[in-house]
Amino acid sequence: MKQFTLIPYETWHYEYCAALTPEGQQMGQAAVRLYAQAYKLRGYAESIKNEDNKIVGCGGLIELWSGVGEVWSMFTDEAKTNPFFLHRASKRLVWSVAKACRMHRIQAIVLYGDPVREKWIEKLGLRREGRMEQASPNREDFGLWCWVKPCDTT
């Protein structure tokens, strides 16, 4: 199994990974650059490098507004060769940021019907909330997944 290391996120990491993935290529360069910058300015993120010091993925949690965050990730095929590392690092980042920022809602948008991605986001602790029909330039459907903190009734 490949060895990976977490490092601080930089905008070029997202751009680099996007160029290596079908999702990133579909977005277009201007959109990729915009997202990469937004994730740096408004969120909390980490990147993953391999033993050759190549970036193989990045992900994090962007605060949409007070108390509400959205999980995002851009993983290359190489990053997926160590799913235990990905899951452990992702779960630690998401829940530590959620707690520190006192978030009451975390959400993620995931390609609908993709069992690997849906299983991963479910293991992070989110549940399917709904379906977004024809939500991409290619008219693909996406699922909206969320975790909502129970209301404090005391």
In degrees rounded to 5, what are phi and psi of residue 137?
-60, -30
Residue 103 lies in a domain: yes
Quick one: pLDDT at residue 73?
92
Total number of domains constituting the chain: 1
Q: Is residue 154 part of a domain?
A: no
Q: Which domain holds residue 36?
A: 4-148
Q: Which two tokens stand for residue 71?
A: 């999980």
Q: CA 45 to CA 4: how far, in whole Å?
A: 16
Query: Which of 94, 13, 83 lies closest to 49, judged by CA?
Result: 13
Q: Is 11 left (phi over 0), alpha (psi -120 to 50) or beta?
A: alpha
Q: What pTM did the predictor assign?
A: 0.88
- pLDDT tens across 65-80, in order? 999 999 999 999 998 8
Would you say 36 and 28 are in contact if contact means Cβ atoms under 8 Å apart? Answer: no
pLDDT at 60: 94
Could you tell me the CATH number of the domain that includes residue 128?
3.40.630.30
